[in-house]
Chains A and B, each alone.
Chain A
Amino acid sequence: MAFNTLFKKDLVTETGKLTAKQRRFAYASLTPILLYMGVFTLFPILWAVVMSFFSYSPIREGSGFLGLGGANPFIDIDNYIELFTGTSKPAEVFRLALKNTFIFTALVLPLNLLVTLPLAVILESIGERFKTLFRAIYFLPTISSSVALVIIWSYVYAPGWGLLSLMFKAIGLVPPKSWLQDPSLVYFGVPLAMICVVIAHVWQDFGYNLVIFVAALQSIPKTLREAARVDGANAWQEFWLVVVPLLRRTVLLTSVLTVISSLQVFVIFQLLTRGGPKNQTQTLLLSIYENAFKFANNLGLSAAMSMVLFIIILTLTIIQFRLLRTEWEY
């Protein structure tokens, strides 16, 4: 008994001393990490926000901190006004790009779900060995270099002799002369080039959602489905009344993630269509890139564009975190 109390007391003081030492260690370790975060994350964010209120070109000397001022004057919210109401070429391209980015996302999400959800249900129902094999192959495009995939798709969409044209001819259809370059080909208000990019992107990206849905389906307890069967549900009812409601949250969350990633697609637009034809596949990120690094006239305007993209993505991220926070138990 006495020994026990003694021991306990010792441990308490020991722990007390250790905590001070541990705290010092933790602070010493985190200080460089946080300093680094300050320089490479926080500072660039603030810089981008501030820059979006300036007419800034790195070629001009400017004055003051970071060359913002003097020859690179503060112009209030003129960059934003220019983007949304201006008649200059970059502003007009930006508005087009904003629209195209929404069209792209609006097409990618349903097409992705249309492919991945049924495929996941089928995949989940087959034997373990084949399931692993199919899953591995479907996932292949997602781990591949986007640049190499664009080369692949340039072969698929090559006019005349591309894989897709050959397939059209093989089944007796007449392929369009050009898949990616004819601005006059518009179906249901969507340019053909955009449809082609959507298909290529969904092909490249569907593996992610597929494996997530398969995992979600597998995590639904067998007992729930069996209970439904015992209560007299057939396979169809079991799927719609048991599986679908339990899958709702996963689908919702995956959809938000898909939208966020669709807004940030770059390689395929820059290399496969180069924003064309006639800016029909010009997107937000491509305009930001071209304005900042190709034309490089007013980086403030590019920064303002990136802020618009940021606000859209931030809103979606907040929705995503809200969804993540709602606990769900089977």
Chain B
Amino acid sequence: MINPPPKRPSFAFVLGKSGAYAVLIVGLIGTLLPFFYIIVSSLKTTAELRQTPPDFFPKQPTFEHYTTILQDKDIPIAQNLANSVFVSVMRVVITLFTSSYAGYIFAKYHFKGKNLAFGIILIQIMIPFQVVMIPNYLLTVKLGLIDSLWALIVPAFIDAYGIFMMKQFIEALPAELMDAARIDGASEFGIYSRIVLPQMGPPLASLGIFTFMATWNDYLWPLIVLTSPEKRTIPLLVVWFQTAHVSNQGLVLAASILTLLPIFVVYIFLQRWIVDQATSSAFK
């Protein structure tokens, strides 16, 4: 006689499944609660922010801190936002060009000293920023770039990671297309710009997004090379707020959320792709 399938495993299975979701949801709350807390706090009035003990939710939500930092003439937030956008866009455009161009050369050309040249570029990955931070600062002084937004752009013309990523991708492109273009009389640069570049949408997009996020969030280097208030980028503005406006916490909160916002907007649309890219680039 065949025994009926036991009921208990399915019970254990259900228990395991709900246990799994319970753990995941606890993790979810732990991740989101701090974000959520400062978002609701930023909508409190100044009086409510000073109240002890505080309420979790604001009684009368208000956007006054946001309108204050956006309208106060003493706070050059529009200028600071423009600085962050300018530096980020410049760095994205330059990185995409230099990475894809150098990646193309390394992927598709054979010449003496290629490995040496690639090795020199890879040194950049091996050297932590902190090691060259002091000489880079002195170099920036010598180049007359201190307190200029170009101090954030010029030292970032070449991105070794970017070159590496693009090289990997271009190596997989078929050589036939390039040979065909050559026979048709295309110049070598023309092959890059008209044959290779149009096929590089996805890797360029992911490199662009990661460069944008890194530049937007960058703090230590801007802190070292930028000094005047109207040159600051957004993270520097937030820090200045935190030290200068201790009495008005609402402004600090509103400024922090404005810093997070652009990245969150990008992330909402591209989250799946960003996470996949971050995963796959980790081990290359």
Interface residues of A (CB under 8 A from B): 18-19, 21-23, 25-27, 29-30, 33-34, 36-37, 39-45, 47-48, 51, 58, 66, 115, 118-119, 122-123, 125-126, 130, 132, 134-148, 151-156, 160-161, 163, 166, 169, 203, 208, 211-212, 214-215, 253-254, 257, 260, 264, 266-267, 271, 285, 288-289, 292-293, 299, 302-303, 306-307, 309-310, 313-314, 317, 324
Main secondary structure of the interface of B (DSSP, over half): helix
Which residues of chain B from 252 to 284 have any CB-CB distance to chain A below 8 Å in the complex?
252-253, 256-257, 259-260, 263-264, 267, 271-272, 274-275, 278-280, 282-283
Q: Name the residue in A145, A153, A324 with the highest tally of chain B Cβ atoms < 10 Å from its Cβ.
A: A145
19 residue pairs from A and B, CB less than 8 Å apart? A22-B188, A23-B109, A26-B114, A29-B105, A44-B132, A45-B123, A47-B135, A126-B24, A134-B27, A139-B278, A144-B217, A145-B216, A148-B235, A155-B34, A160-B52, A166-B53, A208-B278, A292-B134, A309-B130
* A137 to B28 Cα, complex, angstroms: 7
- Contact (Cβ within 8 A) B24 A123: yes
Give 5 closest A-B pairs by Cβ, nearest first. A44-B135, A47-B135, A44-B132, A25-B188, A26-B109
Tell me, yes or no, whether B92 is within 8 Å of chain A by CB: no
**What A residues does B37 contact at CB under 8 A?**
152, 155-156, 163
**What A residues does B56 contact at CB under 8 A?**
166
- Contact (Cβ within 8 A) A145 B235: yes
Q: Which of A43, A48, A119, A314 is close to B24, meaning CB atoms less than 8 Å apart?
A: A119
- Contact (Cβ within 8 A) B131 A306: yes
**B86-128 interface code vs A (CB 8 A; 1 in, 0 out):** 0000000000001001100100011100100100110110111
* A43 to B143 Cα, complex, angstroms: 14
B147 to chain A, nearest CB (A): 14
Tell me, yes or no, whether B141 is within 8 Å of chain A by CB: yes
- Contact (Cβ within 8 A) A161 B27: no
A96 to chain B, nearest CB (A): 18
B interface size (C-beta, 8 A):
84
- Knowing A21-B188, A26-B109, A166-B53 are in contact, say whether A271-B239 is a contact too (CB < 8 A): yes
Tell me, yes or no, whether B45 is within 8 Å of chain A by CB: no
- Contact (Cβ within 8 A) A147 B282: no
- Contact (Cβ within 8 A) A148 B34: no
B52 to chain A, nearest CB (A): 5
**What A residues does B57 contact at CB under 8 A?**
none
**What A residues does B180 contact at CB under 8 A?**
none
- Contact (Cβ within 8 A) A267 B23: no
Tell me, yes or no, whether B54 is within 8 Å of chain A by CB: yes
A149 to chain B, nearest CB (A): 8
Tell me, yes or no, whether B21 is within 8 Å of chain A by CB: yes
* A117 to B126 Cα, complex, angstroms: 27
- Contact (Cβ within 8 A) A45 B239: no
Tell me, yes or no, whether B75 is within 8 Å of chain A by CB: no
- Contact (Cβ within 8 A) A146 B138: no
- Contact (Cβ within 8 A) A40 B136: yes
- Contact (Cβ within 8 A) B257 A45: no
B247 to chain A, nearest CB (A): 15
Q: Name the residue in B20, B124, B132, B234 with the highest tally of chain A Cβ atoms < 10 Å from its Cβ.
A: B132
